[in-house]
Structure 1
Amino acid sequence: MHFLRSTLLAALLALAAGAAQAAFEACRDFFPNRTPPVIADSDRLIARDLCYDAFAILHSGLRKTPIFVVERLSPEQIDDAGDETRTNRFFADARLRAAERATLADYKGSGYDRGHMAPAGDMPTAQAMAQSFSLANMVPQAPEHNRGLWAKVVEKGTRQYVKRSGHTVYVFTGPVFPATPKTIGPGRVWVPAALFKLIYDPQAGRAWAHWSDNRDDAQPTRPLSYEELQRRTGIDFLPGITPGY
């Protein structure tokens, strides 16, 4: 009963603030309390929810990138992921309208990597691995940032935390854009100014976020509090939850 009241209250507050909550009816288990984030101005972003085997995406047809990607990571999933071979078969997601999705042509010759938001290294099965190469799961990412700081510090560090914790942790990843965005390709895919990765540990009651500029020379920074990430992004990732830091 308490959970139902909290969910209803979050939905009413979202409507009152002009925000919206995506449905994710087929994959609500990816979210804490099975409650997706509340997004301001989601209609303007042409937001569509996409469910995959090991992650879910709220996708922007305006930006042609994720708004956020969510994973429910466990130590067992990470162990299984170590057995899978990276496929590198990128593809445009046919569930999105042609005018709303990135294509391989958009990234070709752009100077940017196709940067995973839900990492291939987290995928526990061959099918989940293949799905992670959907361009709906990608953002244009500075190559050295993608392969260096982001992969070796942020993504690897997140997996190490989940392994040490011994239990399931929720992870939200996404891009943040400048007021005047740069775009790539004939489809005009938006290039992020920064990326974030939010880790919420429900057993510890804590949440914190990595924030990293999308540049080859980006340096590690101190993690943000949940409140600061919410302020910077305008997204309530954890409706009804007030985590510690």
Structure 2
Amino acid sequence: MSRVGSGHQRNASGDFAACRQFFANGRPPVLAPQPTQRALCYDAFAILHSGASKTPVYVAEKLNRAAVADADEVRTNRFFADARLRPAERATLGDYKGSGFDRGHMAPAGNMPTAQAMAQSFSLANIVPQAPQHNQGAWRVSVEAATRKYAAKASGDVYVITGPVFLPSIDESQGIGPGNVRVPRYLFKLVYDEDRNRAWVHWHRNDNATRAAQPISYEELVRRTGIEFLPGVYPRG
């Protein structure tokens, strides 16, 4: 089952050597590598991208009081296909046109600390097809805004990993557009407070009817996805 500077780095493969600061202890999640997965570094986040789904596998950020206070950029809304990805492995603007789905950010535009980071957040590599009312409602308010609010009050760094979950598999998931960009059944956002060694996970059905829900534990996220998102870390719930 498939679950899930002067600009950003140009290398579209590798092991995040240029942007390990976005991962707790500098260690990215552990999962079986796939031929079309690419590691992408941006100014304010890192993405493991899947050419099979044409979406992120996950997107990693590091938030803290200073970062949230600095996140006051004007939203650009200029979506673009990331040229570092092979044409056959990336989403395009045409895939989302008339699809009925929003272009849902995994690393939110509202978290971006600079104009350049804001522009980079509109890469389609950072986007999944998301139910519009969910994107603009429960996800935006009870997940994204709540996470920013928490990080703004935290005593240290808060590591955040966000991504889609495709069930029963990527190939069996709905596709949109000429590129067949896959639609996830669920979205998750893992929040890890390093100072308190606490973690929790927002787990939402990608559906217009979805409302705010109690977070699940980190252990439950690992069980559901089969991915160790915080290798070497044993957080409390």
After superposition, residues 85-164 of structure 1 pair within 5 angstroms as 85-164=74-153
Deviations 1:57-102 (A, max 9, x none): 00000000000000001111111112x1000000000000000000
Q: Matches of 1:172 and 1:182 in 2, distance apart?
A: 24
* 2:203 corresponds to 1:211: yes
State how many pairs are aligned. 222
Query: 1:51 aligns to what?
Result: 41
Query: 1:26 aligns to what?
Result: 18
Of residues 74, 79, 90 in structure 1, which corresponds to 2:64? Answer: 74
CA RMSD of aligned residues (A): 1.2
Letter in 2 for 1:88: N
Cα deviation for residue 178 of structure 1 reads 1.4
Structure 1, unpaired ranges of 5+: 1-21
- The alignment partner of 2:190 has SS state of strand
Q: TM-score, normalised by structure 2?
A: 0.92
Q: Determine if contact 2:99/2:177 at 8 Å carries over to the other structure.
A: yes
Q: Matches of 1:238 and 1:166 in 2, distance apart?
A: 20
Query: 1:36 aligns to what?
Result: 28
Which has the higher mean CA deviation after the structures are superposed, 118-127 or 166-175? Answer: 166-175
Query: 1:244 aligns to what?
Result: 236
Percent identity between the aligned chains? 62
Letter in 2 for 1:168: D
Of residues 51, 56, 62 in structure 2, which corresponds to 1:61? Answer: 51
Deviations 1:1-49 (A, max 9, x none): xxxxxxxxxxxxxxxxxxxxx6101101111111111013x315x2110
**Larger relative helix fraction:** 1
Q: Matches of 1:167 and 1:202 in 2, distance apart?
A: 7
Q: Matches of 1:34 and 1:167 in 2, distance apart?
A: 16
Cα deviation for residue 167 of structure 1 reads 2.0
Q: Matches of 1:166 and 1:148 in 2, distance apart?
A: 28
Cα deviation for residue 149 of structure 1 reads 0.5
Letter in 2 for 1:43: Q
Q: Determine if contact 2:188/2:204 at 8 Å carries over to the other structure.
A: yes
Cα deviation for residue 166 of structure 1 reads 3.2
Which has the higher mean CA deviation after the structures are superposed, 174-183 or 58-67? Answer: 174-183
Higher relative contact order (CA 8 A, sep 6+): 2
Letter in 2 for 1:195: L
- The alignment partner of 2:137 has SS state of helix
Query: 1:14 aligns to what?
Result: none
After superposition, residues 153-192 of structure 1 pair within 5 angstroms as 153-179=142-168, 180-192=172-184
Cα deviation for residue 240 of structure 1 reads 1.0
- The alignment partner of 1:38 has SS state of coil
Q: Matches of 1:75 and 1:215 in 2, distance apart?
A: 32
Letter in 1 for 2:53: R
Q: Matches of 1:195 and 1:173 in 2, distance apart?
A: 7
Letter in 1 for 2:177: G
Q: TM-score, normalised by structure 1?
A: 0.89
